[in-house]
């Protein structure tokens, strides 16, 4: 069956450092991958989309890579700030469907 | 900026009672989703609508859950009877209709079944 796995442990980092989150998947051939941010008690908010034929996407301090051979996406937050503290979800899409991982909680210490 | 509206924000009910959640997507968004998110897990798709038609309800527990989008605009998700295991955040999302575009989520309804 399809499986999406994100860092099982929460990530605690110092302000200014780079946070790197992992999204691995099995039994899946997604056409695209998305990353969302979710704050406690709120709905997810879209951050980035990367397609299967793209290797890397950037948006401000965010960078996403997509390796369809390794079946893995990496999500980087550079120069992290306390305001970046949240849960980050990866989502794999194909056709009309979007399936989510469990998320990784990031805490940035000042 | 346009938002997906959901109500109520919180709902506490006793098991075996009926509950209903309402969602109003962003105007013009043809595709509407209901997701359920249990604490510590990712959102799980319950049902997807394209306009007023159900595209996917394979994960919807149809013995107790129902969803409708009668005029292809707002939508209602109902649970009857509610069970303890239904306690979760119920999220509504919409998108214009193009397959790979981002989803816009509402703030969700937090359901607690006692």
What pLDDT is attached to residue A45?
97
For residue B95, what is the nearest residue in chain A, using CA coordinates? A96
Per-residue pLDDT in tens (0 to 9) along chain B, 114 residues:
789 999 999 999 999 999 999 999 999 999 999 999 999 999 999 999 999 999 999 999 999 999 999 888 999 999 999 999 999 999 999 998 766 679 999 999 999 999
Instruction: Tell which of A21, A44, A45 to mutate to test the B interface (max B CBs under 10 Å).
Output: A44
pLDDT in tens, A21-38: 999 999 888 889 999 999
Q: For the range B59-66, what are the long-range contacts, defined as Cβ-Cβ under 8 Å and sequence gap of 24 or more? A: none
The distance from CA A30 to its chain's CA centroid, rounded to whole angstroms, is: 15
B chain contacts of residue A4, beta-carbon cutoff 8 Å: 42
- Give B18→chain A minimum CA distance, Å: 23
The verdict on A59 touching B (C-beta cutoff 8 Å) is no
Report, in angstroms and rounded to the nearest whole number, the Rg of chain A calculated over CA atoms: 13
Residues 6+ apart with CB under 8 A from A1: A27
């Amino acid at each position: 069956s399809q499986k999406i796995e994100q860092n099982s442990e929460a990530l605690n980092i110092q302000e200014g450092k780079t946070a790197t989150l992992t999204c691995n998947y099995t039994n899946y051939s997604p056409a695209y991958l998305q990353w969302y941010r979710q704050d406690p008690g709120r709905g997810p908010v879209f951050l980035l989309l990367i397609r299967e034929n793209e290797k890397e996407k950037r948006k401000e301090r965010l960078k996403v890579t997509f390796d369809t051979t390794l079946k893995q996406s990496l999500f980087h937050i550079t120069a992290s700030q306390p305001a970046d503290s949240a849960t980050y979800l990866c989502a794999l899409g194909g056709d009309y469907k979007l399936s989510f991982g469990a998320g990784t909680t990031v805490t940035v210490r000042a | 900026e346009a938002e997906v509206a959901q109500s109520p924000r919180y709902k506490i009910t006793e098991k075996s009672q009926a509950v209903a959640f309402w969602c109003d997507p962003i105007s013009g968004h043809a595709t509407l989703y209901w997701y359920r998110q249990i604490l510590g897990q990712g959102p799980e798709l319950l049902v997807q609508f394209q306009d007023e038609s159900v595209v996917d309800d394979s994960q919807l527990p149809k013995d107790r859950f129902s969803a409708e989008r009668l005029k292809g605009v707002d939508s209602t998700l109902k649970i009857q009877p509610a069970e303890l295991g239904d306690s979760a955040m119920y999220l509504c999302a919409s998108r214009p209709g193009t397959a790979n575009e981002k989803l816009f989520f509402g703030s969700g309804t937090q359901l607690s079944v006692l």
